[in-house]
Amino acid sequence: MYEIGTIQGGLSFSDNDLENPRDTHNDALVISATISNFWVKKILVDSRISADIFFHDAFVKMGISNAQLTPINTALVGFSGEVVEALGEITLPLSLGSYPKRSTKMVKFLVVKSSSAYNVIMGRSSLYIFQAISSTYHMKLNFPTPGHLNL
């Protein structure tokens, strides 16, 4: 897992944010966060995806019933062109960071029944809600938190 952090006085990255040399790598930015009071690992941060996706297997493990889903008529197209229908959508609290640099926002997730190496995909929608920026080079996600200036 890689770090989630915040920077006071504006959001940016510097060489000080590098923990290890990043000469050559193409790792995905994968984080852990709290969703609806559950610690969820393997959250892919992907700014190319417009929606926030919750994979059904992880959804079930959290004990959330399908009855809590709001029906939605949305199809998603996967990498190989396959179409996956969303089972529904649900709005849950997503918390990033740790005290005192922690932020919680309500995020609308599309729940899909599809196999994935990840439990959740955090897309552009939640990145926008959190005013977050990501750096695959630094392997970090930065966002403003209460009490910290966002320039």
What is the reported pTM?
Answer: 0.80
The closest of 140, 119, 127 to 38, measured between CA atoms, is: 119
Residue 1 lies in a domain: no
| pLDDT tens-digit series, residues 52-96 | 999 999 999 999 888 899 999 887 877 677 788 899 999 999 999
Radius of gyration of the chain (CA): 16
- For 32, the domain range is 26-131
pLDDT level of residue 117 (50, 70, 90 thresholds): very high
Residue 17 lies in a domain: no
Number of domains in the chain: 1
Residue 147 lies in a domain: no
Distances (CA, A) of 64 to 37, 69, 79, 117: 12, 9, 28, 20
Residue 6 lies in a domain: no
**Cβ-contact 107, 37 below 8 angstroms:** no
Residue 48 lies in a domain: yes
Amino acid of residue 42: K
Q: What percent of the chain has pLDDT over 70?
A: 79
Q: What is the CATH number of the domain that holds 69?
A: 2.40.70.10
Residue 15 lies in a domain: no
Residue 11 lies in a domain: no
Of 144 and 119, more confident = 119
| pLDDT tens-digit series, residues 34-57 | 999 999 999 999 988 989 999 999
Residue 144 lies in a domain: no
